[in-house]
Structure 1
């Protein structure tokens, strides 16, 4: 991550020294190795409040969800977390973020459900601010025959945003 940021022109060492950039691989959000939804949401809420108190305009966070879920793979909590996170995005407009999903390593049903929890989705290099699958419980409305996450992702990739 550091090398990518540096390649884009960011003085990574200075940003870290100032506290403007925090790169962490800690898993403090896990409780006894298991993903804890409330703990993670509380940590994000505290972090955005701290960023604002420190004079920043907001907080941008990202996480690799396969890694974030921890060794005990808390897929059962994943949707509750994503829905809670969407609520935080609305409660704190200064909070932005990307949950990274590797569609080839997570169960299809998990990716399918998470695509429905956020108003915006970012796939590869494309941001869709109006996710047509947001809040749709069953088959996605814009794709008549889509019943898999790969078809949903394919449909989103084909759209002009």
Structure 2
């Protein structure tokens, strides 16, 4: 199995572990990286009887649908049944002709309510965020929206992946995106985000003291984790040494027993030979 396939399987396993309320950002550099994460994300949602919404922008809707078909999704049936919707920015983020974080969050709330009313277990949404690179009114409020989503998701039956093309967004924007997502998908791995900043803190413009407190806690927590890992590693090494010594002792004992049996067999053979000699003489 090549490295790509191993990574792909690992990523799909991680995506299967996601649950309602999870808020992720996908930071990708190629379409292959992008679709390797979001297409299985949609497929898993369909398998779990969740309403799935894909908002296309960096790619055409037809490209997204083709990628879904390649993954084995019966797109036509899913769309016809209402289980899948492939939208554009004008259907969602820019529905009113401009972007307003609160209106978009209300859009998602309504979508959750509608999905539940239709019998779906939850709403699973993912959007290509390149629409925010345009000149539409309100796009500068993107980061505010991402932070406010962290108020919505913990109390609504929704999980979401926000997709960011690293080649198109500035490092400053990507940094804020990392700060506003508890989970990050990067290089085909789903990672817990140590740099996530809770919305109360992120949206508080006088946040320096809170940020210092969080940094100190993170430093302390990381040190404690490293100490615990070192302790566990030391214990494991000791157990391996003890087990190795025990196996060596057993091996020595087995060799001793084996030599006894071999010696006994040799003596028996010698005895039989002598008996045959005596029988021959007599």
TM-score interval (norm. to shorter): 0.7 to 0.9
In 2 relative to 1, CA 31–48 (structure 1 residues): closer, same or farther, beyond 3 Å? closer
2:104 corresponds to: 40
TM normalised by structure 1 equals 0.76
Aligned equivalents of 2:146, 2:166: Cα separation in 1: 16
Tell me, yes or no, if structure 1 residue 108 matches structure 2 residue 174.
Answer: no
Tell me, yes or no, if structure 1 residue 89 matches structure 2 residue 153.
Answer: yes
Tell me, yes or no, if structure 1 residue 63 matches structure 2 residue 107.
Answer: no
CA offset at residue 5 of structure 1? 1.3
- Can you list the C-alpha shifts for 1:122-152, whole angstroms capped at 9, x where unaligned? 1242111x21001186699579xxxxxxxxx
Contact 2:124-2:159 at 8 Å conserved across structures? yes
Instruction: Map residues 2-151 of structure 1 onto 2, 5 A cutoff.
Output: 2-28=65-91, 29-30=93-94, 33-68=97-132, 70-72=134-136, 74-92=138-156, 94-128=157-191, 130-135=192-197
Q: RCO higher in 1 or 2 (8 Å CA, sep ≥ 6)?
A: 2
Contact 1:27-1:68 at 8 Å conserved across structures? no
| Uncovered stretches (5+) of structure 1, i.e. residues with no partner | 144-161
Larger CA Rg, structure 1 vs 2: 2
Aligned equivalents of 1:44, 1:55: Cα separation in 2: 17
Find the residue that maps to 1:27 and give its secondary structure: helix
- Can you list the C-alpha shifts for 1:39-96, whole angstroms capped at 9, x where unaligned? 111111110111111111111111111225643274531121001112111111x211
Aligned equivalents of 2:108, 2:197: Cα separation in 1: 23
Question: What value does the CA root-mean-square deviation take over the aligned residues?
Answer: 2.6
Aligned equivalents of 1:70, 1:95: Cα separation in 2: 27
TM normalised by structure 2 equals 0.45
Aligned equivalents of 1:113, 1:11: Cα separation in 2: 36
Find the residue that maps to 1:9 and give its secondary structure: coil
Higher-helix-fraction structure: 2
Contact 1:34-1:70 at 8 Å conserved across structures? no
Find the residue that maps to 1:22 and give its secondary structure: strand
Aligned equivalents of 1:45, 1:32: Cα separation in 2: 16
